[in-house]
Structure 1
Amino acid sequence: MEAISQVTGRAIPYGARNVDTDIIIPARWLKTITREGLGKGAFESVRAQPGNVFDDPAFAGAPILLAGDNFGCGSSREHAAWAMLDLGIRALIAPSFSDIFSGNAVKNGILPIVLPQTAIDRLMEVAREGHAIDIDLETQTVTTPFQDRFAFDIDPFRKTCLMGGLDEIALTLERRDAIASFESRRATAQGWLATGTREYGETP
């Protein structure tokens, strides 16, 4: 996945609470066998409403989404994170997230940031006024051009994965030498496992 250390740009001032994964990406879009193109179905029911923020040209290409409490609740579909990424979202800011959604977001290179509602309200104001927001993962801060500065916490392991662009496959490959060494020793000591056969009386 693509590494992330800093996200700067306009933020979509969505702000809705209890947004479940079916709102993020409706079930009918889950039939796809690829991640590409899911952005077209992202927030489909919301975008069906006139004047919605997702289709506002002012927020086209915005890499940050501001949301309300309990974002990403509902089913555990990873498609929700894929759809957000295909929409161009690299960071989410909300008072709280569903645990499963938050994990899926990180594994796909999206930074979920938890801030209090008062901070979200202020960022919503800045976003509506058309100003950019800056997120620095290294210093764990969200800042605005008006000297607003909000610090956020993040699990150290998640931070390492995001900044290093490490998904589960990449993390496994970092241990390739240890894995190869283990497999070599196992093949020598238990060669019968590779062939699936064992001589009568031979102990495992």
Structure 2
Amino acid sequence: MINILSSRTIYDKPYVKKHLEKYIHKDSKICVIAFSQFESDDMIDQYHKGYEQPLGIWYLHILEPFLSYGIDPDNVSWVIYKKDTADSAIKKVSDADIIFLPGGAPEKFYNRLVEYNLLDTIKNSNKVVMGPSAGTMVQFNWFHISKDRDYKKYQLSDGIGLLEDFGVEVHYNRRKQQKKSLRRTSHYHERPIYVIYEPGYMIIEDGKIIYSYMASKYYEKGKRVK
């Protein structure tokens, strides 16, 4: 399995694209699992493809980087929360080469994947799994959430379980609350924790980190890495 981790949707940037062209091809079939919204109904229209309604902002935000790889929009399928059924979601994910997990609310994302019985389909897929922010966090067997404008307190959550040998802090910008949560998480478990800066990303092949940019190990075995 290939896991691509990032803080932002930066996949069309030249410094990223030159490394991802190995995994993303013009004939790739992509499935976007749009389950990461903070509330059950908000953002759904933002994934709209056009036709009777205007193009949704999140539809364009996710699709446009893939167009730079020569991918036809018809090769991108969308699993929409409360619009797709569990059966249609499983089929779309199974038919894809790349599973894209958008940013948003990671713990809600995980709960909706459970609701749709998608965990085993994703875990057994041996596909490319990628996505920014929440789409990175939810790939782990568990993850921490730092206090910020969306979350009033630190918390832990279960994840899909594609990765488990380390953890990450996305959107790292040296905020005090991030440093506090990193320290707290390091005391909870000894596994290494990496920080991914806004332009950063990591490529994982079969659980091993093979490339990283602006992403570095921050804690290991409860100690700050110097």
TM-score bracket, normalised by the shorter chain, equals 0.3 to 0.5
Which TM-score applies when normalising by structure 2?
A: 0.31
Higher Cα Rg, which structure: 1
More helix by share: 1
Which TM-score applies when normalising by structure 1?
A: 0.34
More strand by share: 2
